[in-house]
C-alpha cells in the first residue's frame, strides 16, 4: 500500500514520465487497490453476532505477528450468537483508512452457520481446510468455506501494512438468509458485497488498529 503514495506524488509533480505514471496506475487498478464500495450500513434492527479474537481486544492494537511486519498469518477469530435462520456466513476484513479508498485484507465465503470461529494462520489457499475451522463438539460444517482475493491481489489473508499513521481494520462477519453463489472462483470484496445485499440477518464487528514502527 505504500507504493500508492508514491504514485500520487508522480501525478502531482516532477519525476518519472507520464507513461510510467499511467502504467503504475493501471497496475494498482488491476491489483484491486482502487476500491471504495460502501460496506452495508449498520441496521439497529439487525441481530448482533459477538465477534472477537484471542489475539487482540476490540479497538486494540493488532499484534505485529499478524501484519506485514511479522509472519503475517491471520489472527484467530471466534464468534457466537448466529441466528438459527442463518444459512451461511461471510467474512470481510477491510481498511477504511486506506489513501485510495477502502482496502480489502481478507474475504471468506460459504462458511457454515454452525462454524464458531477460525484458527490462527488459515493457509493462503482457496479452500479453507477443515483444521482451520472451529466447531462445537463433533459438528461437521455443512458448507465448503473458501477464501477470495484480497486487494494485494492474493488469495487469503493479507496483514495490515499501513503506509503511514494508525489505520483501523474492521472485521465484518455477516449471517445470511440464503447461501450465496458467486460466478468467480476467487471473489473479491465487491463481488461479495453485491451478492449479500438484502440478505444480511445478523452482523458481528471487530475493530483492530495498527501503525508501523518508524
Q: Are 151 and 1 in contact (CB under 8 A)?
A: no
Four-residue CA torsion sign, 155, 159, 161, 165 = positive
Per-residue pLDDT reduced to its tens digit, 28-55: 333 333 455 677 766 666 789 999 999 9
DSSP code for 53: B
> To the nearest whole number, what is the mean pLDDT of the chain?
83
Has residue 93 got a pLDDT over 80?
Answer: yes
How far is the C-alpha of 146 from the C-alpha of 127, rounded, in Å?
Answer: 4
Has residue 86 got a pLDDT over 80?
Answer: yes
Higher per-residue confidence, 158 vs 24? 158
Has residue 27 got a pLDDT over 90?
Answer: no
Mean pLDDT of the 179-195 span: 91
Has residue 21 got a pLDDT over 80?
Answer: no
Per cent of the chain over pLDDT 90 is 69
pTM of the predicted model as reported, rounded to 2 decimal places: 0.81
Give residue 46's pLDDT. 76
Residue linked to cell 503475517 = 72
Q: CA of 40: how far to CAs of 43, 84, 155, 194, in Å? A: 9, 21, 23, 10
Give residue 39's pLDDT. 76
How far is the C-alpha of 159 from the C-alpha of 62, rounded, in Å?
Answer: 10
Has residue 187 got a pLDDT over 70?
Answer: yes
Give residue 204's pLDDT. 97
Per-residue pLDDT reduced to its tens digit, 138-158: 666 656 899 999 999 999 999
Mean pLDDT of the 84-104 span: 95
Has residue 126 got a pLDDT over 60?
Answer: yes
Amino acid at each position: 500500500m505504500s507504493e500508492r503514495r508514491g504514485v500520487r506524488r508522480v501525478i502531482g509533480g516532477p519525476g518519472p514520465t507520464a507513461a510510467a505514471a499511467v502504467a503504475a496506475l493501471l497496475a494498482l487498478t488491476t491489483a484491486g487497490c482502487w476500491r471504495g464500495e460502501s460496506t452495508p450500513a449498520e441496521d439497529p434492527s439487525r441481530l448482533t453476532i459477538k465477534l472477537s479474537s484471542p489475539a487482540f481486544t476490540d479497538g486494540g492494537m493488532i499484534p505485529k505477528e499478524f501484519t506485514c511486519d511479522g509472519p503475517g498469518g491471520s489472527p484467530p477469530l471466534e464468534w457466537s450468537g448466529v441466528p438459527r435462520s442463518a444459512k451461511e456466513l461471510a467474512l470481510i476484513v477491510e481498511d477504511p483508512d486506506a489513501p485510495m479508498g477502502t482496502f480489502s485484507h481478507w474475504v471468506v465465503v460459504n462458511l457454515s452457520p454452525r462454524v464458531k470461529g477460525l484458527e490462527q494462520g488459515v493457509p493462503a489457499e482457496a479452500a479453507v481446510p477443515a483444521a482451520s475451522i472451529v466447531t462445537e463438539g463433533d459438528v461437521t460444517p455443512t458448507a465448503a468455506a473458501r477464501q477470495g482475493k484480497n486487494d494485494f491481489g492474493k488469495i487469503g489473508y493479507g496483514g495490515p501494512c499501513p503506509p503511514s499513521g494508525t489505520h483501523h481494520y474492521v472485521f465484518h462477519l455477516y449471517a445470511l438468509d440464503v447461501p450465496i453463489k458467486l460466478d468467480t472462483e476467487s471473489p473479491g470484496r465487491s463481488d461479495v458485497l453485491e451478492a449479500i445485499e438484502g440478505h444480511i440477518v445478523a452482523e458481528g464487528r471487530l475493530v483492530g488498529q495498527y501503525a508501523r514502527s518508524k
